[in-house]
Structure 1
């Protein structure tokens, strides 16, 4: 259902023209007249609740009207400067709109297409034209342009915060950091994730709930491969202990996947690349990066994000969601690995990045600003012509030393070997200071799951995979921390993983049914986007 919805949305043709704001609003243009958004095709019989969001400049005494060429709607003269949701079904629209609702006598938007005009004293100042409006979606403005998004999705700007104390840590080296952070909670834990199967984390949440801490959990409703019986039992246990657990999903969900890995713990924020399961935060498998940010500002920012994501109609209580679900058996990871690099606490300035909307362009900006070194560590990378990889090659072209380290896990080994060969070929042909490698863990971890960048003195840590689905359709969260000390810490970790070997791909011959299974999974992987 989700994939179908995204495909429909991507095929919709739209044109957005305004005399005052044809590009993302620049300084001084925030008050320009505009048709901000439109929802022509809400999920309701007869499209009840359809609306158009307009913005009228402050101090204006003009006569403002909205028309589709057939009907003219007069806008209230006493609301200049506001974003107004114009509708003829105010009760239905209030559940959908993020702006004050203005009731008009008649508004009828065609699902097939419409040309809307905002007029000031009879002169057209903004125009919105669309065709084939997808069900349950609205037109929104983002840093890369404008597109259809599910109703309820609110694009965010990059949020900049002041200087804060930041603790960097590695997994599997320091699995105690995430759990101890949760155990220290005295007031609130808001935990957001993709999957959740960790008994250790569940223990910490149940204990916190019992001592009166507000504990809420938000996870994806339909992770790739389904939810395991073990994961369902852990969520059942949380709910039985009084923890609020909701899942994001459904045919009109705001995101393809709810994929972040963060927790707000009192006035601290824990942000990692790892899932809430033994393989991730439990330190039983994956190489991951994480930070704990001691900042009431960052915590408040992520708390607002959590409440917005958990407060829409696609957020379904776990008990209701599980009624019609089936669960598969799963054997949790149980590897043990040495703790070679201890956590490090320092200070830095922090920015919060989110997808969809701003994370991709923000990370591109971090790479574009680098003068000396860029180190990229990812499980795998999507299109070779994607903005993130283009920025990486562009950095090397201006003389920046660039290294790209990818996972050698069996399910991405073939594509990662091909990509590293291509990148190294580009470097050789163009004489660039760029090198790429597939990692060999050699007993220090099982696989790379980190989604990280170190660019000069800026570190990016979070859930953002470098593929189109992650940056455009998933809910993702990352932080960009400017700190020379933190950058040195993660660059040391990167160098240790980089130098472990030349990244040779190892193939293991297996027989009979096992061989068939491995082959089938490799073939299937080519058609499935990496999400974990």
Structure 2
């Protein structure tokens, strides 16, 4: 790494304060809030027993005010009501026919089994705070929307955003924070993170852009019965052509993609996906106003036994079919991928996919219906000329999905790491970089406290302010200049997380994302080696500039072009100075015509985050009649030769003259 942020020993003490904070101590009750329905006539809450023994709800109270003596409403229990280990009970003011909230668990209304839901118990749509009391002590809370953080209980970070038509569902009982909750509705399968859910597998890791997507073409070419694809962007002509060929051979092809994207429109891609649809593939588009904000997965299931999980979209550059040894020379992004051979894991993901693929929930459209009457574009598959041989390793794999379990899974593996945490992230959200949040970054701090080697690499597009916040917590952070870092991978000791989950609020809480935790030292070492190589080529968070066209010597009357570039991307302003004379510009290139003599040109580059860097260079302008510098050295060598040649010529003249006489 060219520039590493200096980390003082005091940072270790700062990191110690960011360790994952438990919700309650060991003596705290095991009953917690686990669901909140803030909209509709069936508004209410659910309680779950996370303990190992029965719990009696008598003596508990749910209020929407941190003070039990307030005039706001409450749910109370006047007689014994036992909630068993692992059981969830739901409490509402009234039942509503067909309610999704009431369909999942045993429910109670006002007056049933000693349950009292006061008439003034109401949850505001714009935001409210809900508290669970045992006796006179607050043991849990949930904050959403526009509400002030209370002083009576330690809620971590900003409030949760509950979406209309959704139920807020808890994923992590050990934290009181927005990150520990997600929005669920009918048609979504809630699968909390379970570190003990491990499937036997054989795993072949690979890198992008080094492999050029060749392993993907190899696996697809061998498909015999089915291909299931959940993909954010599918735009590679060659990949689409191969899928079309498979469909024509009778392979069942199912593709799920988001409908509305800012940088790709699947309905207007020049007819490529239309050709795939006409070839027999079942393509469906999911809207962003239903169950998920985005389907952002990069996942493929082949023949019910092989799963490809990766960080990269199936675009022309990423799946270019060219093998390269130097990643900075490749056409695609920096990304990680894994071919996972496991029928159990494939079956698990297939179940989730088919639920997402279902049109019954109003947010999935059939591609053929949306493109009726549009022309198609015939494509021809061209097999890559290069070959890639992958190593395979025995492993266990654990599913990690958004919005259900990605936060808990990522936090689990990072916070428990003892030797190393290496992470490559395209972007870091402001709440992830906030020291007040229990987040993957504060989890890295916890791992650092235990002595683990902790490092983070981000892309050139990552928010500078957020990078600075991460660095201030003592995490060594670098920026990878080339190739563009689109990765979302993490190595935690001997476990590697590969997939599509970005470290942003939307990716963790609102999107459908697919990630896999691979438990294998060999696989972890493979990706760790790549990470360390990338880290050695990275820069610090300071703005880095260089002359892509440096100032060059010239002759009087000639013009020279000087161009400056940055390692980072973004918008910049340029302050050029020639011999002290200043000029401001938004253009990175200047054309200079200067007088005879020595000159100095400098440029100060400033970005939108007020980072700035200055670079300077000198050049000389010679008189137009003067011999250029490039000729001066040549004359030093030519002059003696000329003297010899002149001498030989003189002798020859004398000889010729003598012969004439």
State whether TM-score is above 0.5: yes
The 8 Å contact of residues 471 and 477 in structure 2, kept in 1 or not, is answered as: yes
The alignment status of 1:477 with 2:482, answered yes or no, reads: no
Structure 1: distance between partners of 2:307 and 2:477: 32
The 8 Å contact of residues 116 and 129 in structure 1, kept in 2 or not, is answered as: yes
**Structure 2 vs 1, CA of residues 209 and 525 (structure 1 numbering), >3 Å: closer, same or farther?**
farther
The 8 Å contact of residues 236 and 314 in structure 2, kept in 1 or not, is answered as: yes
Structure 2: distance between partners of 1:340 and 1:180: 9
Residue of structure 2 in register with 1:438 after alignment = 479
The 8 Å contact of residues 171 and 281 in structure 1, kept in 2 or not, is answered as: no
The 8 Å contact of residues 111 and 131 in structure 1, kept in 2 or not, is answered as: no
Residue of structure 2 in register with 1:151 after alignment = 185
Give 1:345 shift: 1.1
1:254-265 to 2 correspondences below 5 Å: 254-265=291-302
The alignment status of 1:385 with 2:434, answered yes or no, reads: yes
The 8 Å contact of residues 452 and 460 in structure 1, kept in 2 or not, is answered as: yes
Structure 2: distance between partners of 1:150 and 1:364: 21
**Structure 2 vs 1, CA of residues 53 and 227 (structure 1 numbering), >3 Å: closer, same or farther?**
same
Structure 2: distance between partners of 1:177 and 1:397: 39
Which of 337, 356, 369 is matched with 1:290 structurally? Answer: 337
**Structure 2 vs 1, CA of residues 507 and 104 (structure 1 numbering), >3 Å: closer, same or farther?**
farther
User: Secondary structure of 1:469's match?
Assistant: helix
**Structure 2 vs 1, CA of residues 244 and 348 (structure 1 numbering), >3 Å: closer, same or farther?**
same
Which of 301, 308, 314 is matched with 2:348 structurally? Answer: 301
User: Secondary structure of 1:344's match?
Assistant: coil
The 8 Å contact of residues 382 and 467 in structure 1, kept in 2 or not, is answered as: yes
Give 1:361 shift: 2.6
The alignment status of 1:403 with 2:455, answered yes or no, reads: yes
Residue of structure 1 in register with 2:525 after alignment = 488
Structure 2: distance between partners of 1:71 and 1:310: 39
1:332-343 to 2 correspondences below 5 Å: 343=390
User: Secondary structure of 1:447's match?
Assistant: coil
Structure 1: distance between partners of 2:533 and 2:75: 67
RMSD, matched Cα: 5.3
User: Secondary structure of 2:276's match?
Assistant: helix
Which of 198, 203, 207 is matched with 1:161 structurally? Answer: 198
Residue of structure 1 in register with 2:9 after alignment = none
The alignment status of 1:372 with 2:425, answered yes or no, reads: no
Which of 237, 242, 255 is matched with 2:275 structurally? Answer: 237
Residue of structure 1 in register with 2:305 after alignment = 267
Residue of structure 2 in register with 1:448 after alignment = 485
Structure 2: distance between partners of 1:491 and 1:59: 45
User: Secondary structure of 1:169's match?
Assistant: strand
Which of 149, 157, 169 is matched with 1:140 structurally? Answer: 169
Q: TM-score, normalised by structure 2?
A: 0.56
Give 1:37 shift: 3.9
For 1:156-186, what per-residue CA distance to the aligned partner results, in whole angstroms no more than 9, with x for missing partners? 3236223311000111222111122222222
Which of 371, 385, 395 is matched with 1:348 structurally? Answer: 395
The alignment status of 1:173 with 2:178, answered yes or no, reads: no
Give 1:403 shift: 2.5
Q: TM-score, normalised by structure 1?
A: 0.68
Which of 480, 496, 499 is matched with 1:459 structurally? Answer: 496
Give 1:105 shift: 13
**Structure 2 vs 1, CA of residues 461 and 505 (structure 1 numbering), >3 Å: closer, same or farther?**
farther
Residue of structure 1 in register with 2:364 after alignment = 316
The alignment status of 1:201 with 2:239, answered yes or no, reads: yes
Question: Which protein is richer in helix relative to its size?
Answer: 1
Structure 2: distance between partners of 1:395 and 1:103: 44
Give 1:389 shift: 1.6
For 1:438-467, what per-residue CA distance to the aligned partner results, in whole angstroms no more than 9, with x for missing partners? 2233xxxx3111111122211111111112
For 1:256-304, what per-residue CA distance to the aligned partner results, in whole angstroms no more than 9, with x for missing partners? 2211111111211110001122233446421111001111111111112
Count of residues in correspondence between the two structures: 464
**Structure 2 vs 1, CA of residues 262 and 233 (structure 1 numbering), >3 Å: closer, same or farther?**
same
User: Secondary structure of 2:198's match?
Assistant: strand
The 8 Å contact of residues 372 and 456 in structure 1, kept in 2 or not, is answered as: yes
For 1:60-81, what per-residue CA distance to the aligned partner results, in whole angstroms no more than 9, with x for missing partners? 9x9xxxx999999xxxx9xx99
Give 1:309 shift: 2.1
Give 1:321 shift: 7.9
For 1:411-461, what per-residue CA distance to the aligned partner results, in whole angstroms no more than 9, with x for missing partners? 44xx35x6666666665xxxxxx53222233xxxx3111111122211111
Residue of structure 2 in register with 1:5 after alignment = none
